[in-house]
């Protein structure tokens, strides 16, 4: 359902069940999946925030059942990047949230009011961003992480963890999020122990990773945490 006061580019591809409210803008190169809702004054598919690259021929893909609230901005990809911004299904973007060019956002991600992703960020499934949280370009955020309100992240945020602070620091596991996703108590306990080894125990990161894999490597969630930390290029907050 498209309100006649909405502005929709003729090249945009919208599933029949998409709802677009008055004064929302859907730009070129956009694909919106089934049952997406775009509220008034949102700008979906705007050009990348780049000095010279205006994203000619680039795209933005938004998965099914995603909600885009008022004044949200979702930028399509850039020609200096991948050319694609991809947002998974079941996401919720609250007012003034922003997703920069070439980002990849997973399933069930919640960005609360004023939270922001710089260009080229990768966000895994079921991450929650508190109000006015900001993530630097090229950073990764692991699955089920919680980024506290007002936090500024310039390094990769490990899966299942909580970070907080103006310059973020690790603040423990996101146990509330894990319980909401019905992760078993045994897995949460293993993640707790792995967290202590990786981030609270003296010694080198390489030795800690070796120990975590030896003790808990058979648990998929712990293996994912270890792989994420080992592959980080921007580093992990202290």
Q: Is 102 a catalytic residue?
A: yes
Could you give the CA distance from residue 213 to residue 208 in angstroms, rounded to a whole number? 9
Could you give the CA distance from residue 105 to residue 112 in angstroms, rounded to a whole number? 14
Q: Is 45 a catalytic residue?
A: no
- Asked whether 133 and 116 are in contact (CB, 8 A), the reply is yes
Q: Is 227 a catalytic residue?
A: no
Could you give the CA distance from residue 78 to residue 146 in angstroms, rounded to a whole number? 28
- Asked whether 58 and 77 are in contact (CB, 8 A), the reply is yes
SS3 for 19? strand
**Which of these is catalytic: 46, 100, 106, 119?**
119
Sheet of 59-62: strand order equals 13-14, 30-32, 59-62, 84-87, 104-105, 122-123, 140-141
**Which of these is catalytic: 27, 90, 102, 156?**
102
**C-alpha angle 30/32/33, rounded to 5°?**
150
**Which of these is catalytic: 75, 98, 101, 120?**
101
Helices (H) then strands (E): counts for the chain: 4, 24
For the annotated catalytic residues, the residue numbers are: 101-102, 119
């Amino acid at each position: 359902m498209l309100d006649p006061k909405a502005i929709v580019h003729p090249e945009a591809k919208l599933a029949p069940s998409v709802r677009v409210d008055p004064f929302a803008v859907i730009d070129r190169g956009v694909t919106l999946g089934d049952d997406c809702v775009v509220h008034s004054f949102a700008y979906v598919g705007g050009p990348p925030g780049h000095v010279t690259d205006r994203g000619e021929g680039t795209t933005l893909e938004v998965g099914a059942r995603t909600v885009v609230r008022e004044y949200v901005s979702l930028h399509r990809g850039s020609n200096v990047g991948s050319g694609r911004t991809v947002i998974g299904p079941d996401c919720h973007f609250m007012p003034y949230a922003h997703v920069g060019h070439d980002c990849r956002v997973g399933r069930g991600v919640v960005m609360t009011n004023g939270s922001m992703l710089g260009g080229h960020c990768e966000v895994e499934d079921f991450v929650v961003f508190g109000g006015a949280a900001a993530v630097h370009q090229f950073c990764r955020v692991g699955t089920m992480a919680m980024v506290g309100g007002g936090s500024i992240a310039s390094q990769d945020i490990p899966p299942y963890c909580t970070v907080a602070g103006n310059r973020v620091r690790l603040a423990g596991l996101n146990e509330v999020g894990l319980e909401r996703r019905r992760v078993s108590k045994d897995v949460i306990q293993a993640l707790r122990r792995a967290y202590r080894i990786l981030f609270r125990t003296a010694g080198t990161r390489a030795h800690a990773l070796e120990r975590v894999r030896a003790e808990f490597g058979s648990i998929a969630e712990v293996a994912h945490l270890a792989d994420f930390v080992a592959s980080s290029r921007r580093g992990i907050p202290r």
